[in-house]
Amino acid sequence: MRRRLATGIGCAVAAAGLFLAYLRMARAIPINGDSASNALQAWDMFHGNPLLKGWALSDVSFYPTELVQYGIVQWFTGLSADQVQVTSAITYTMIVFLAAALAKGRATGAEGRLRIGVAVAILLLPVPGTGYQTLLSSPNHTGSAVPLLLAWLVLDRSRHRVWTPVLVAALLGWGAMGDPLITFVGAVPLVVVCAYRALRSRGAERLFELSLVLAGAASVGVSRAFRHLLDSLGAFQSPHPPIELAPLPEWPHRAWMTARMLGVIFGTHRSGWHPAALEPALSALHLVGFLAALIAFAVTVLRALRGTADRVDSVMVAAIACNLGAEVVSTISVDLMAAREITPVLPMGAVLAARLAGPWLAARHPATAAASHSAPGAASRSALSAASTAGDILEMSDKAPRSVRIGRGVLAGILTVFAITLVAYAPPRAEPAEAQEAADYLRSRGLSYGLGAYWASNNITVTTERGVTVAPVVGGGDRLVPFCWQSKGAMYDAVAHDARFVVLEKDRPIYGTPEQAEHMWGPPVRRHDVGKYAILLYNVNLLDGFPPHCG
């Protein structure tokens, strides 16, 4: 009882510490139009519009997943830029803990703790810059790893329970409701792997594998039925992701960029934020984790083909292959910022590395192991309880082969360096959002409603806590039109709103230009340029006669 209490308190303290560290990282990246839009949607959901009627969302809605999380956080923070960063820190903390639990599996004692150590070492320290923006900013696909890891955790811990397929289907279906990526990196791998295992098994084992095949298929049916239900109730619009097969000559380039994207999420990509002397060292330590994940992937593939791999390990290997393969052969955008598309690969790769390396790192000399097995007294229990911290990992070194001692030393060193860096390095805090200068100008002049380019509009609304509301627009021919992406039809209601300004980005003419605004409403009463933004002020309601919203 006391041990469980101590473990619970330790986990709570660790979770709080990680959350504060990741919040500091998240605050180094300003919120953008996507995260601000999600914040507004969550606010609307929890303030009288649970179905988000009238909204046109992106092709990934995050509706029953991270939008709900945003809404819960808003109870404490209100609608603000900080709630985006708080939510991101919570999400990544959850991923670290879920990955650690899945890495541990059913292992106990030193092996269990060493497995946790390997997984945490790989996940502990996201790299600044693109790494922060990918793993600790707006809902990309990072949060989608939460239902995925929960499903694999149930599959790993519950084994052959009757309710296991039902719960796995529910978790994957829930995840796919918010992010179609879960279908490709969750349901499809589960169906393929368990169908293969069913062909190689008999009796009750075959029946259980087939039940998991049905669970994967059912999760797709659940998510699609949910979408049809929302449509019948007049809920939000969300287009299907525009995914097609990329031309074959593009595959080598896409494969190279996908490899670089892996460098972003695993931390081997050097960003230049840390001091020059520290960057190569941290990159090298991250490389160790990446290589461990790569080796674990290859070994598990071979074991899966021979039918000797653990079920969960096989499913995660297939999930990683599906995720990376889709990047290489499809028309999904492929650049460093597109690393968000493969973020679930990071925790699953960390888990695979931990589950492969853990038994090896826990190995001892045969004679010592036999003695411990035949006479498990207090001394052996003390040895098995070691390795709970980076320093403890080395305590059993005298009982292990030399290669294992070196491995434990490397793990302890990485955990120590990353933990110190996590505490000591304070990244510079970014401005709350893009267009902050424009928001400050509008608020100082008492302007409360207007139109604006997408990447500025919802940002201004959130950072001013709806003190200044800006409806997103985009250029259409020689005029401005409502942006049918992350916007709500009621934003363009001329009866409810009196829009007196337009905020446009001079370096992104696709979202509208001053010339288009002047073509529609004539010369402004006043124009104010602040940074890359042009603010045009009018003395008429710009929504009178404005084109209707898409939905």
146-176 exposure pattern, b = at least 16 Cβ within 10 A, e = fewer: bbbbbbbbbbbeeeeeeebbebbbbbbbbbb
Domain end, chosen from 301, 329, 357, is at 357
| Integer angstrom CA distances of residue 492 from 34, 436, 486, 520 | 19, 23, 13, 16
In a domain, 228, yes or no: yes
| Shared domain check, 145 and 28 | yes
Q: ∠ CA 41-343-185 to the nearest 5 degrees?
A: 90
Q: Which residues of the chain have pLDDT under 70?
A: 270-277, 364-399, 432, 551
Give the pTM.
0.90
Q: What is the pLDDT of residue 381?
A: 34
Among 67, 2, 3, 13, CA closest to 37:
67
Q: In which domain, by residue range, is 495 found?
A: 436-537
Paired sense of beta strands 55-56 and 487-488, if any: antiparallel
Do 23 and 168 have their domain in common?
Answer: yes
**Residue 374: inside a domain, yes or no?**
no
398 within some domain: no
Same domain, 105 and 245: yes
Q: Which two tokens stand for residue 427?
A: 């990244």
Cβ atoms 459, 36 nearer than 8 A = yes
Residues 34 and 140 in one domain: yes
Q: Look at residue 399 in the predicted model and tell me its pLDDT.
A: 63
Q: Looking at 329, 357, 385, which one is the last position of a domain?
A: 357
Tell me, yes or no, whether 313 lies in a domain: yes
SS3 category, 159:
coil
Tally of domains in the chain: 2
Are residue 341 and residue 468 in the same domain, yes or no? no
Domain membership of residue 3 (yes or no) is no
CA distance 300 to 356: 8
pLDDT, one tens digit per residue, over 134-159 is: 999 877 789 999 999 999 999 999 87
What pLDDT, on a 0 to 100 scale, did the predictor assign at position 377?
38
Same domain, 468 and 340: no
**Distance, C-alpha 495 to centroid of its chain:** 40
Q: Which of 308, 334, 357 is the last residue of a domain?
A: 357
What pLDDT is stored for residue 379 in this prediction? 31
pLDDT at 98: 97
In a domain, 128, yes or no: yes
Q: Are residues 317 and 465 in the same domain?
A: no
Residue 392 lies in a domain: no
List CB contacts of 220: < 8 A, sequence separation 6 or more. 173, 176, 183, 187
Do 344 and 476 lie in one domain? The reply is no
Query: Are residues 341 and 441 located together in one domain of the fold?
Result: no
Residue 370: what pLDDT? 37
Does residue 390 belong to any structural domain of this protein? no
Cβ 312 vs Cβ 156: under 8 Å: yes
Together in a domain, 442 and 321: no
Rounded CA separation 317/321 (Å): 6
Same domain, 351 and 455: no
Q: Looking at the structure, do residues 346 and 447 belong to the same domain, yes or no?
A: no
Coil, helix or strand at residue 481 = strand
Taking each helix axis as running N to C, give the angle between helix 2-26 and helix 81-104, from 0 to 180 degrees, rounded to the nearest 10.
Answer: 140
